[in-house]
């Protein structure tokens, strides 16, 4: 700073420094280091459609499973083969509606209403879908010139109560099997399911992955303040609200540990559009959007810290009674230790120097080097970076 600037009073000097900072920021924004609007738009569009694609794929899967089970039951009832295609056309929108009810409507009702009332409303939704299915059966039978869609065994008579009960039983079985399949497959991504069906991970395999450990802050204080039941509800709400953010960043939930969620990516997916970084900030936006709801329900808004790191891990399918894909390697231990450093360093989000080098230039973020830090259980120090969104700071 020049000598004449030092002669000004502190307020004037601070004002001049602020102008200098703004000018420097403006110069940075207009420089070649700033990502083009096309790049930022592509990244945001990818995250937007990743979240919606996950929901749409889930709803579509439920609809497809419902139709498959419905047609299987129809064959067992000796429904004429010429009625199978019309039955599939009728069953598919009902299956999609079932998916919307189970994936979007019911979880939203549980968040806002008592469980009994939400369950009652869910039952009303199922009753409406059952009426649609009954009408579909009658319509197809009428179009085909049949007294009823299914064939009665020769030894029995077509009693009215059988016709009344058969369709609800078919609907209930289709919903039950569809729900069981969804619950069975909900704990893994489609890519992971495909790999398991192909027989992968029966033997240990090495792969490069990125991990993000996200942990609620002041969890002990929150548990004492809210009590066990309300604290458990808070944690459940937190996990539910950040799930779309994880899907938007194309992450996979590896496991929930108490009040901590571990997210992972194959290294190329985690690096693309800096998904492993964007996931944390998408989580922050999701919780900020629910600020008033948390205040009304618990009197507090959950805050959280995170650590991220990447490297080579060993992946294997373990267990007999309960089977699970697990990751072994120093990468997970290091990531947990990095996340644990957030409190002592006053940071919300820390990453390792190795991950910082993998990501390359990321002008959307501000990286602050914190130097080598001694991590518990590590013989040597690890260089860490604090990560913040750059544009909101400007």
Of 127, 119, 120, residue with least CA distance to 171: 127
**How does pLDDT run across 172-184, given as a tens digit for each residue?**
888 888 887 777 6
With 0-12 / 13-18 / 19 or more C-beta atoms within 10 angstroms meaning exposed / middle / buried, residue 90 is: buried
Residue 160 has pLDDT above 80, yes or no: no
State the pairing for strand pair 324-328/304-318.
Answer: antiparallel
Q: Which homologous superfamily is 200-393 in?
A: Nucleotide cyclase, GGDEF domain (3.30.70.1230)
Average pLDDT over residues 362-375: 86
Average pLDDT of span 237-247: 89
Distance CA 233, CA 382 (A): 36
CA–CA distance, 189 with 243 (Å, rounded to integer): 13
Mean pLDDT, rounded, of the chain? 80
- Of the pLDDT bands very low, low, confident and very high (cuts 50, 70, 90), residue 332 is very high
Nearest to 58 by CA among 174, 188, 245, 176: 188
Q: How many residues does the chain have?
A: 394
Say if strands 349-352 and 324-328 run parallel, antiparallel, or are unpaired.
unpaired
What DSSP designation does 31 have?
A: S
Residue 59: exposure state from Cβ atoms within 10 A (0-12, 13-18, ≥19): buried
d(CA 229, CA 221): 14
Please give the average per-residue pLDDT across 163-170, as a whole number. Answer: 78
Q: Residue 338, Cβ neighbours under 10 Å: how many? A: 27
Interval 217-232 mean pLDDT:
90
CA dist., res. 302 & res. 294, Å (int): 8
Sequence-distant (≥ 6) Cβ neighbours of residue 132 within 8 angstroms: 94, 97
3-state secondary structure of 145: coil
> Residue 365 above 80 pLDDT?
yes
Q: How far is CA 350 from the centre of its chain?
A: 21
| pLDDT band, residue 27 (cuts 50/70/90) | very low
Residue 208 to residue 310: CA distance in whole angstroms: 7
pLDDT of 302 strictly over 60:
yes
Token pair belonging to 183: 């619950």
In the prediction, which pLDDT does 149 show? 74
> Has residue 228 got a pLDDT over 50?
yes
Higher-scoring residue by pLDDT: 55, 74: 74
Q: How far apart are CA 75 and CA 69, in angstroms?
A: 10
**Out of 60-64, 158-162, 247-251, 361-365, least confident range:** 158-162
Domain boundaries, the chain: 38-185, 200-393
Q: How far apart are CA 85 and CA 66, in angstroms?
A: 14
What span, in angstroms and rounded, lies between the C-alpha atoms of 103 and 105? 6
Quick one: pLDDT at residue 31?
42
Helix 37-76 and helix 275-289, axial crossing angle in degrees, nearest 10 = 80
Radius of gyration of the chain (CA): 28
Q: What is the pLDDT of residue 190?
A: 63
Q: pLDDT, tens digit, for every residue of 107-159?
A: 778 777 787 888 888 889 999 998 998 888 888 888 888 777 776 554 455 55
| pLDDT reported for residue 106 | 84
92's CB contacts (< 8 A; 6+ apart) are 63, 64, 66, 67
Q: List for the chain the helix, strand, coil content (%; round to 5).
A: 65, 15, 20
What's the CA gap between 264 and 246, in Å, rounded?
Answer: 10
Say if CB 350 and CB 386 are below 8 A apart: yes
pLDDT at 1 over 50: no
Tokens of 389: 């969104």
**HEC profile for 218-270?**
CHHHHHHHHHHHHHHHHHHHHHHHHHHHHHHCCCEEEEEECCEEEEEEEHHHH
- Are the C-beta atoms of residues 348 and 339 closer than 8 Å to each other? no
| Sequence-separated (6 or more) residues with CB below 8 Å from residue 148 | 137, 141, 158, 163
pLDDT of residue 238: 93
DSSP bridge pairs for 318: 324
User: Does residue 326 have a pLDDT over 70?
Assistant: yes
In the predicted model, is pLDDT for residue 201 greater than 70? yes
> Which of the residue ranges 8-12, 164-168, 314-318, 386-390 would you say has the lowest mean pLDDT?
8-12
Q: What would the mean pLDDT of 187-201 be, rounded to a whole number?
A: 68
Q: 31 vs 382, which has greater pLDDT?
A: 382
pLDDT higher than 70, residue 247: yes
In the prediction, which pLDDT does 46 show?
61
pLDDT in tens, 41-55: 665 666 666 656 767
């Amino acid at each position: 700073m020049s000598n004449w600037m030092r002669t000004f009073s502190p307020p004037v000097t601070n004002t001049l420094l602020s102008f200098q900072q703004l000018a420097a920021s403006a110069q940075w924004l207009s420089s070649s280091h700033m990502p083009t609007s096309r790049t930022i738009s592509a990244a945001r569009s990818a995250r937007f459609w990743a979240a919606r694609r996950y929901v749409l794929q889930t709803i579509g899967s439920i609809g497809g499973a419902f139709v498959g089970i419905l047609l299987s039951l129809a064959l067992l009832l000796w429904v004429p083969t010429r009625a199978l295609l019309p039955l599939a056309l009728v069953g598919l929108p009902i299956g999609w509606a079932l998916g919307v009810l189970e994936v979007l409507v019911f979880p939203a009702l549980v968040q806002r209403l008592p469980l009994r009332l939400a369950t009652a409303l869910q039952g009303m939704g199922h009753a409406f879908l059952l009426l649609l299915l009954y009408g579909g059966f009658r319509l197809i039978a009428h179009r085909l010139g049949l007294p009823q869609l299914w064939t009665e065994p020769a030894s029995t008579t077509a009693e009215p109560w059988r016709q009344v009960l058969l369709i609800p039983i078919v609907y209930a079985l289709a919903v039950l099997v569809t729900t069981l399949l969804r619950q069975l497959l909900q704990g893994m991504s489609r890519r992971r399911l495909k790999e398991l069906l192909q027989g992968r991970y029966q033997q240990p395999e090495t792969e490069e992955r990125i991990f993000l450990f996200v942990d609620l802050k002041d969890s002990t204080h929150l548990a004492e303040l809210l009590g066990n039941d309300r604290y458990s509800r808070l944690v459940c709400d937190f996990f539910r609200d950040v799930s779309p953010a994880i899907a938007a960043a194309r992450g996979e939930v590896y496991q929930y540990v108490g009040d901590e969620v571990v997210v992972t990516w194959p290294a190329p997916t985690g690096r693309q559009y800096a998904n492993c970084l964007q996931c944390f900030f998408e989580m922050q936006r999701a919780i900020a959007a629910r600020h008033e709801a948390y205040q009304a329900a618990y009197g507090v808004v959950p805050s959280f810290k995170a650590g991220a790191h990447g490297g080579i891990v060993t992946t294997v399918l373990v267990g007999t009674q309960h089977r699970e894909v697990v990751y072994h390697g120093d990468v997970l231990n290091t990531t947990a230790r990095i996340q644990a450093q957030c409190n002592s360093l006053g940071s919300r989000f820390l990453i390792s120097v190795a991950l910082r080098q993998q990501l390359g230039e990321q002008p959307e973020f501000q990286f602050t080097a914190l130097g080598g830090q001694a991590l518990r259980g590590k013989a040597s120090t690890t260089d860490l970076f604090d990560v913040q969104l750059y544009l909101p700071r400007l």
